[in-house]
Amino acid sequence: MKRREEQAMEILEAADQSLLEVIDHVLNKGVVVSGEAMLGVAGVDLVYLRLSALLCASDRVQARARKK
């Protein structure tokens, strides 16, 4: 079975802006009720870094599209 972080990365790479937003809220926010949350703390940091980069990337794409 793939590691959770790898699964998260695969989703992130394929996600559009609206899915990125959902992922950030659903995976990085919310109450943590068990030590067994899907991603360990290190995994969440990793996802967050990638997510920030991707949110930026699609924002730039949109900004370019608007300028045209």
Partner 1 sequence: MSPPLNVYALSDAPPPVEVRGAQGEAVRALPAGSLFALAGEVDQRPDLTADAVRAHDAAVRRLAVACPALLPVRFGSIAEEVDFSEREAELLEALELVRDREQMTLRVYGEPQPAERGSGTAYLESLRRSRSMPALDPLRAALAPLVRAERTEPHEGPLIASVYHLIDRGSAPEYLRALAGVALAVRVAPTGPWPAWSFAPELLR
Sites of contact with partner 1 (CB under 8 A): 4, 7-8, 11, 14-15, 18-19, 21-34, 36-39, 52-53, 55-56, 59-60, 63
How buried is 51 (Cβ within 10 angstroms: 0-12 exposed, 13-18 middle, 19+ buried)?
buried
Distances (CA, A) of 42 to 16, 46, 61, 66: 24, 6, 29, 36
Tokens 């068990």 belong to 34
Nearest-approach distance from CB 56 to partner 1, in angstroms: 5
